[in-house]
Chains A and B, each alone.
Chain A
Amino acid sequence: NAGVTQTPKFRILKIGQSMTLQCAQDMNHNYMYWYRQDPGMGLKLIYYSVGAGITDKGEVPNGYNVSRSTTEDFPLRLELAAPSQTSVYFCASSNQETQYFGPGTRLLVL
């Protein structure tokens, strides 16, 4: 099992550009999540999904969109990148007991 994988590992964007952060899991988990972590801060939930076709907003959804067309994949879309979106983005999936995190995507918006 690869667990939770994320691509890319690192990206620099210019203000106003768009991009999609990819996340995939091979553990057949129904629940998936996107978090962002700013320096010295805890993780904040952006969006989550309880299964294919179902998504919902978390604490900080503004500026992001998600889709969940399959159980395995949960991409996060940034439409108009802003400097405030500079952060580390973690994707996670969960079973009944544990959330498993991907290695993260470091995003810098200049």
Chain B
Amino acid sequence: RKEVEQDPGPFNVPEGATVAFNCTYSNSASQSFFWYRQDCRKEPKLLMSVYSSGNEDGRFTAQLNRASQYISLLIRDSKLSDSATYLCVVSLFGNEKLTFGTGTRLTIIP
């Protein structure tokens, strides 16, 4: 079983729609959780950290379910600029030694 599993997509979603991704992780000792965004042929960049209580940043909402070992990302009112690959990332120790999922590719259609 992979340490971090994501649906690779692609998700093709009309502009303005809401889209949600899930990710599961296998190591119950994982302590830190993140969503990174990677544009085509670019480096990954931190989108948001994921906290146990759930957190929101503008149109983006992240949730963590420790009991079921999954993380979700919800994007509301999607924009063309949201087109990217979204990487689910977990770590045993804070920001060190991150384990990456393979990513979910999202394309927003005008």
Contact = CB atoms under 8 A, between A and B. Distances in A.
Interface of A: 31, 33, 35, 40-45, 48, 58, 90, 94-99, 101-104
A103 B43 contact: yes
A40 B42 contact: no
Interface of B: 4, 8, 42-46, 49, 87, 94-103
B60 to A, nearest CB: 16
Contacts of B49: 97
Given A45-B98, A45-B99, 14 more contacts: A31-B95, A40-B8, A42-B4, A42-B87, A42-B99, A45-B97, A48-B96, A48-B97, A94-B95, A94-B96, A98-B46, A101-B44, A101-B45, A104-B43
B55 to A, nearest CB: 14
B95 A98 contact: yes
A96 B95 CA distance: 6
Contacts of A58: 97
B102 A42 contact: yes
A35 B95 CA distance: 15
Contacts of A101: 43-45
A35 B101 CA distance: 13
Contacts of B98: 43, 45, 99
A33 B96 CA distance: 9
Contacts of B45: 101
18 contacts: A33-B97, A40-B8, A42-B99, A42-B100, A42-B101, A43-B44, A44-B100, A45-B99, A48-B96, A48-B97, A90-B44, A94-B96, A96-B95, A97-B95, A98-B95, A99-B95, A101-B43, A104-B42
A87 B95 CA distance: 24
